[in-house]
Structure 1
């Protein structure tokens, strides 16, 4: 009976190890997400209801998308060892915003117990420039 209990435990522990991130894949993902965008001033918080994501780039970079024109990049202060591209994040946020220092756990699909507790950092907005037509105000 003990063996039956230990096998799933051992299998779960073995599944926690991850391969090193492919830097070229992470670089490509960042380049694609930020193409044609300019960085703005970092913000402490973003409104959870206006963003989708995250896109997990690597063990220390998350990208949230806001209405196609803006993306928010969160570069964690330190690497989150359980963060992988297929992770599901469980964020401990209070209210309607995600903020710097909010904690989260990365869980793999089918996993009941999350990995290490990690913290969000500041959110840097990257915006597409407005087209000339959008800048013009109608004559009134």
Structure 2
């Protein structure tokens, strides 16, 4: 009897939901700055998406690079320059590819869009 295909078919929808960190969240108006002391991150999702999580995950801030940012990909390390406790649009960061020690050229953050969990009634 072949039961593994049934188990795999049940697991595939779960994998799809887990791959979108913003699923079930509602976007708010973009802001120019976020307070870094209240966030965890950065988490690189792909070449265009960087996430910072606030608190216990109640709010997620989505940003990305302005233009292209070579080497920005999951598992890379971001070196972020923070001045005054806030991270703002146009602030600079660099990316270090795993296995290398030389960072990329400077990249700049775009605006920060808050995503909050949708409330159910």
Q: Deviations over 1:6-32 (max 9, x none)?
A: xxxxxxxxxxxxxxxxxxxxxx68962
CA distance in 2 between partners of 1:30 and 1:64 (Å): 17
Partner of 1:121: 110
Higher strand proportion (structure 1 or 2): 2
Q: Give the gaps of 5 or more residues in structure 1.
A: 1-27, 133-140
CA distance in 1 between partners of 2:44 and 2:18 (Å): 10
* Distance 1:96-1:29 versus aligned 2 partners, 3 A rule: farther
State the TM-score, normalizing by the size of structure 1: 0.67
Partner of 2:76: 87
Give the root-mean-square deviation of aligned CA atoms. Answer: 2.1
Q: Deviations over 1:81-135 (max 9, x none)?
A: 1212111111112110110000000012453210121000100000013466xxx
Higher helix proportion (structure 1 or 2): 1
Aligned with 1:54 (options 18, 42, 47)? 42
Structure 1 residue 102 corresponds to structure 2 residue 106: no
Q: Give the gaps of 5 or more residues in structure 2.
A: 1-15
Aligned with 2:23 (options 29, 35, 38)? 35
| Distance apart, 1:77 and its partner CA | 2.1
- Whether the 8 Å contact between 1:100 and 1:122 is mirrored in structure 2 is yes
Structure ranking higher on relative contact order (CA contacts 8 Å, 6+ apart)? 2
State the TM-score, normalizing by the size of structure 2: 0.77
Number of aligned positions between the proteins? 105
